[in-house]
Amino acid sequence: MTMMYFGFAMFINLLFYVLLIAVVVYVLYCLRQIVKLLTEIKEALKNKSE
């Protein structure tokens, strides 16, 4: 009984870590997209000013 509960707790823990990693990866991906967008805007403004 205790072993089954321990296994369930381990599974929940693993699930939590997987979710955490997924969120971190998603946030990093979004940040990269934003940086790319900002760089494009900056380039466009620089080209317009010349």
Q: Which residue has the tokens 């620089």?
A: 46
- Output the pTM of the full model: 0.62
Phi, psi of 27, rounded to the nearest 5 degrees:
-65, -45
What value, to the nearest 5°, has the Cα angle with vertex 35 and ends 40 and 31?
A: 150
pLDDT by residue (tens digit) across 1-36? 678 888 899 999 999 999 999 999 999 999 999 999
